Amino acid sequence: MNANTQVLELNVEGRQVDEAVLSLFHTLLFHRSTGKFHYKNDNTYAVGTIGFQDVDCDFIDFTYVRCSSEQLDRSIRREVSGFCEAIRAPDAPPSGQVALEFYQRKRGRWPFATESIPWEVWTLRVNVVSLNNEHERQIWREKVGESLGERLLRITDTLNRHDYIPSPPNQSDIDYIYDTNYPDVQPFLFKVNYTVSAPSNPSTTTTIKKLLKDTLAL
């Protein structure tokens, strides 16, 4: 099964990385969570309610909505913080990418273990910019807010296209689809992974290619 893969690019200041990533990941988790299931029998269940709350960013002119679940918030913050620390390290390259992957588990046939199959992957390519003064920071604060608004619209466009979503499972299989560890909400199984790497230089590559072509043409 091919996972629905989306890539979004962000140019942010070092101190804005946490909020920029969290605002989009929380928006995704808000859409990809349900209320808690309460099974009456194996395939009949009642669904709880997702509360929501507005969150204002400190370093970006932006407000987003997230699930009212402190545990889910703590969990996603913990996952994202590793990436933020890595990209803000003194000798770190100025770009990296962090992905939120929704997956489902499938029982493997003996002797194989359970396998995880991603069905939707959201990758954020983050470029860290450095600014010279407070005036530039003020402008950037608004610019990043507008940029996040555009990214959020793309997210909602995509999520409302109704691509593949795992079907609600029977009670015995619920842990193969949803993360049931949270007491108040029930997100689809998800994980965060990241890489921090030096950016490739396309202009150099292009120049070398051109040189080779010219040489061959001679």
Footprint of another protein (CB under 8 A): 27, 30-31, 34-38, 46-54, 56, 62-65, 67-69, 148-149, 152-153, 156-157, 159-160, 162, 165, 168, 184-185
Quote the tokens at residue 114: 């359970």
19 contacts: CB under 8 Å, gap ≥ 6: 57, 58, 59, 60, 62
CB of 197 to another protein, least distance (A): 31
CB of 155 to another protein, least distance (A): 8
Distance CA 66, CA 73 (A): 8
Q: Which is nearer to another protein, 95 or 104 (CB)?
A: 104
Q: Which is nearer to another protein, 36 or 141 (CB)?
A: 36
Q: Which is nearer to another protein, 41 or 200 (CB)?
A: 41
CB of 13 to another protein, least distance (A): 20
Query: How many angstroms from the chain centroid is the CA of residue 218?
Result: 49
125 contacts: CB under 8 Å, gap ≥ 6: 7, 8, 9, 10, 95, 96, 97
Q: Which is nearer to another protein, 135 or 162 (CB)?
A: 162
Cis peptide before 183 (omega within 30 of 0): no
